[in-house]
Amino acid sequence: MKIGIIGYGSMGRMITEKIAASGSLAAGDIFVSNRSQEKLQNIPEGVIVCENNCDLAQKVNASEEDQGIVFLCVRPVDLKNVFSEMATDLSSETLVVSLNGSITFDMLSKFFSGKMAKVIPSVTAEVNRSQTLVCYNGKAEENDKQDLESLLRTFGNVIELPEDEIGMGSELVSCMPGFIASIFDVLCASAKKHTSIPDDQVVKMVLQTMCATGELMLEKNMSFEDVVSRVATKGGITEEGTKVVYEAFPKTADLLFEKTLEKRRMTAEKAKTSFEEDT
Ligand SMILES: NC(=O)c1ccc[n+]([C@@H]2O[C@H](COP(=O)([O-])OP(=O)(O)OC[C@H]3O[C@@H](n4cnc5c(N)ncnc54)[C@H](OP(=O)(O)O)[C@@H]3O)[C@@H](O)[C@H]2O)c1
């Protein structure tokens, strides 16, 4: 299998570095291109820099012997240019993967009528614990899915969703590290008002407990309710705290998703406009 990464920014670099480090592809089978050449100075050993996107498409294209996957790691406003440049260089057997959740397959099909996927990774890919989301258009086949997902599993787990669930799915995996960090930031700030334990120790204690609670639930197949009832004994101290959370927090959680989903709708509209201009 050969893969190409177009756009060597935050996402393109992460995907290239993770897949190169995993050793799952032969040296020389990973190709990159980027608009500005400066970003391509420090790339992993064995990764090949292409002159431009057309050159990359031609080198990565699927053949009878070899699968080809091209990742488009550019912003929506640049996606149209990338397609305009190289759509005719792409073979319809090559799987084209967009990293953008807002641009639909329908919109992309104006430029490329072959096999496509969308991939939403999480920042937790940095520690090989991404809960990555993937969806496919009707043309991708079972072997395309297997090849792509084997690459994505080099930096975490993979869940396939229908295209219309990628928005809410992104809230749950891509935005969630930010939600979790801000919730625990508020909790720690409140705890610090009641203790002389140094700030960094408070954060460490909470972080270790947070990670271990997740591990406990995953390993022992426990629900949130199971954990609460295990720790919050009737009439005890923990129960006082969990009662407050269940009484006061639902309103905040509802507001959070109302706001983020509204912003997501607006962002999708903007992305659609910038993508469709002049097409
Ligand atoms: N960042 C995240 O956490 C995240 C998470 C999930 C999905 N995404 C999605 O992933 C996509 C990329 O995001 P990002 O954060 O990686 O963006 P980014 O850091 O801005 O990187 C985009 C890269 O694309 C390059 N580029 C632009 N036009 C190009 C062209 N015609 N040919 C080749 N390269 C070109 C840019 O080159 P220059 O050096 O010239 O600017 C830049 O290096 C976006 O659609 C975003 O919505 C991002």
Model confidence pLDDT, tens digit, residues 197-212: 999 999 999 999 999 9
Model confidence pLDDT, tens digit, residues 75-115: 988 988 898 888 889 998 999 999 998 899 999 998 899 99
Where are the extended beta strands (E) located within 179-279?
none
Q: Which residues pair with 98 in a beta bridge?
A: 72, 118
Nearest CA residue ID for atom 2, ligand 1: 11
Cα(181) to centroid of ligand 1, in Å?
Answer: 24
Nearest CA residue ID for atom 19, ligand 1: 9
Mutate-to-test residue for ligand 1 from 56, 75, 81, highest number of ligand atoms within 8 A of CB = 75
Cα(203) to centroid of ligand 1, in Å?
Answer: 33
End-to-end Cα, the chain, rounded Å: 33
Residue 278: pLDDT band by 50, 70, 90 thresholds? Answer: low
pLDDT on residue 3: 97
Nearest CA residue ID for atom 15, ligand 1: 10
| Atom of ligand 1 at shortest range from CA of 102 | 47
Cα(271) to centroid of ligand 1, in Å?
Answer: 14
User: Is pLDDT above 70 for 52?
Assistant: yes
| Atom of ligand 1 at shortest range from CA of 8 | 43
Hey, what domains does the chain have and what are their CATH numbers? 2-160 (3.40.50.720), 176-273 (1.10.3730.10)
> What is the value of pTM for the model shown?
0.92
Q: What is the percent of the chain where pLDDT is above 70?
A: 99
Q: Give the whole-angstrom CA distance, residue 30 versus residue 3.
A: 5
Q: Give the whole-angstrom CA distance, residue 77 versus residue 3.
A: 23
Q: Give the whole-angstrom CA distance, residue 102 versus residue 167.
A: 8
